[in-house]
């Protein structure tokens, strides 16, 4: 059994991929790491507005909902553009959310700027980091994700200390402006997301001869088709008709004699075409038939039933294209749906606990220090 070799381009599984991990940590620390400190940062303002836990719960629920829902659009956006552009967009939107929330004097203002705009920015930035790591790593993917989360965890521990210092020194509005400026570092992390095609490496893969067909295109992959074709060729070779066809195919066209064209003279009174004189009555009948056919086709088109069928067909086609573009085929997997439900409940419970904890500690008499 002979062996075949071919060259395959694979992700670097390291190299520039470690800078992707660094960029992911920078992006998460600069954007989403502020989320656990929401109660500490916005607590005094929400008390002044008289909403406290109710307003905080509304803003954070909106932000987390949009944060997770925006991940649905990351796949289509990365297909059309690139994950680096999506990451830069998320970083810019996150910075804009902080800066636009600074002059807030109402719950609605905070809900729109931080809850909606911030949720979109945080979601695009966070999801694009996972896409980048997935493209650069195959064997070391778990290690890369772990290092990225470890870097983000360091930010989760440092950000509350920074927020407390900024609130004591500059107050809420100035502190939020400084945090918005710091979040621009996410753009630096996003710029590290170079296309994986720039860093792919070539490896030589050894395969057995019987596995070579798996490397062929799909229209040439089916071995049964190849076998059937061979059998058909063998059977054709044994038949006399196929042998005759082979012989004929090998003969040049010049070998076939052409029939001579001998012009024949027509007798007097004969015509090539048998012309029949059409009367006016026959013309009227034919025109009536054509008119009836046109009217019948127009009536068929204007029929409400046919129009509704055409509308439903176009709507169904549009929905199928939308499902394919959004990769919604995952919703058919029961295991995936079960995992999705469990993670959703975990995120909601954990988010509400982190949200209420600062207000609970404040009621116990504890301060920011």
Segment-wise mean pLDDT, segments of 10 residues, the chain, 369 residues: 71 85 90 82 83 80 84 80 89 93 90 92 88 86 86 85 89 91 91 85 69 49 41 43 42 47 48 52 69 66 64 73 68 80 79 73 70
**Residue 94 confidence (pLDDT):** 92
DSSP per-residue codes, 282-322 = HHHHHHHHHHHHHHHHHHHHH-HHHHHHHHHHHHHHHHHHH
Q: Which helix (H) or strand (E) holds 68?
A: helix 52-70
| CATH at 102 | 1.20.1250.20
DSSP per-residue codes, 85-126 = HHHHHHHHHHHHHHHHHTT--SHHHHIIIIIIIHHHHHHHHH
Nearest-angstrom CA–CA distance, 80 and 40: 39
Q: Is 60 exposed, middle or buried (0-12, 13-18, 19+ CB in 10 A)?
A: buried
The answer to whether residue 231 sits within a structural domain is no
The answer to whether residue 246 sits within a structural domain is no
Do 91 and 125 meet the contact criterion of CB atoms below 8 Å apart? Answer: yes
The answer to whether residue 80 sits within a structural domain is yes
Contacts of 326 (CB under 8 A, 6+ apart): 72, 73, 75, 76
Sign of the dihedral defined by the CA atoms of residues 76, 79, 81, 86, in that order = positive
Tell me what percent of the chain is helix, strand and coil, each rounded to the nearest 5: 75, 5, 20
Do 82 and 195 meet the contact criterion of CB atoms below 8 Å apart? Answer: yes
**Residue 133 confidence (pLDDT):** 87
DSSP per-residue codes, 177-242 = HHHHHHTTHHHHHHHT---GGGT-EEEEEEEEGGGGGGGS-HHHH-HHHHHHHHHHHHHHHHSHHH
The answer to whether residue 323 sits within a structural domain is no
DSSP state of 332: G
The answer to whether residue 176 sits within a structural domain is yes
Helices and strands (H and E) in the chain: how many: 15, 2
DSSP state of 72: G
Do 66 and 111 meet the contact criterion of CB atoms below 8 Å apart? Answer: no
Do 132 and 193 meet the contact criterion of CB atoms below 8 Å apart? Answer: yes
**Residue 295 confidence (pLDDT):** 65
Domain range for 92: 3-202+340-363
Total structural domains within the chain: 1
**Residue 51 confidence (pLDDT):** 78
**Residue 225 confidence (pLDDT):** 40
pTM exceeds 0.75: no
The answer to whether residue 359 sits within a structural domain is yes
Could you tell me which of 77, 188, 196, 66 has the C-alpha nearest to residue 128? 77
The answer to whether residue 130 sits within a structural domain is yes
Nearest-angstrom CA–CA distance, 185 and 155: 13
6: helix, strand or coil? strand
Q: Could you tell me the CA-to-CA distances from 243 to 96, 230, 231, 232, 240 in Å, in that order?
A: 78, 16, 16, 13, 5
């Amino acid at each position: 059994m002979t062996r075949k070799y071919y060259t395959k381009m694979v992700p670097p599984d390291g190299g520039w991929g470690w800078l992707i991990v660094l960029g992911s940590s920078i992006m998460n620390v600069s954007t989403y790491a502020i989320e656990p400190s929401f109660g500490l940062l916005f607590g005094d303002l929400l008390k002044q507005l008289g909403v406290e836990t109710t307003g905080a719960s509304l803003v954070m629920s909106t932000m987390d909902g949009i944060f997770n829902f925006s991940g649905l659009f990351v796949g289509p956006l990365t297909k059309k553009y690139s994950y680096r552009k999506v990451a830069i967009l998320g970083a810019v939107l996150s910075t804009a959310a902080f800066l636009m929330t600074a002059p807030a004097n109402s719950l609605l203002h905070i809900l729109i700027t931080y809850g909606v705009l911030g949720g979109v920015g945080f979601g695009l930035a966070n999801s694009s980091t996972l896409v980048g790591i997935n493209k650069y790593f195959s064997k070391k993917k778990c290690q890369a994700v772990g290092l990225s989360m470890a870097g983000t965890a360091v930010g989760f521990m440092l950000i509350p200390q920074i927020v407390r210092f900024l609130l004591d020194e500059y107050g809420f509005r100035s502190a939020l402006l400084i945090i918005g400026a710091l979040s621009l570092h996410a753009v630096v992390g996003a710029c590290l997301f170079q296309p994986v095609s720039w860093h792919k490496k070539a490896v030589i893969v050894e395969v057995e001869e019987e596995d070579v067909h798996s490397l062929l295109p799909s229209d040439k992959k089916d071995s049964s088709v190849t076998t059937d074709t061979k059998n058909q060729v063998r059977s054709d070779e044994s038949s006399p008709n196929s042998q005759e066809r082979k012989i004929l195919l090998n003969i040049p066209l010049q070998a076939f004699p052409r029939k001579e064209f001998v012009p024949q003279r027509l007798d007097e009174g004969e015509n090539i075409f048998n012309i029949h004189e059409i009367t006016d009555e026959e013309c009227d009948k034919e025109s009536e038939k054509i008119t009836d056919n046109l009217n019948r086709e127009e009536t068929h088109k204007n029929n409400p039933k046919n129009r509704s069928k055409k509308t439903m067909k176009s709507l169904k086609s549009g929905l199928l294209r939308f499902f394919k573009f959004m990769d919604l085929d995952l919703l058919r997997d029961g295991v995936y749906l079960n995992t999705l439900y469990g993670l959703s409940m975990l995120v909601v419970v954990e988010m509400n606990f982190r949200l209420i904890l600062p207000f609970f500690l404040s009621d116990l008499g504890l301060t920011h220090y």
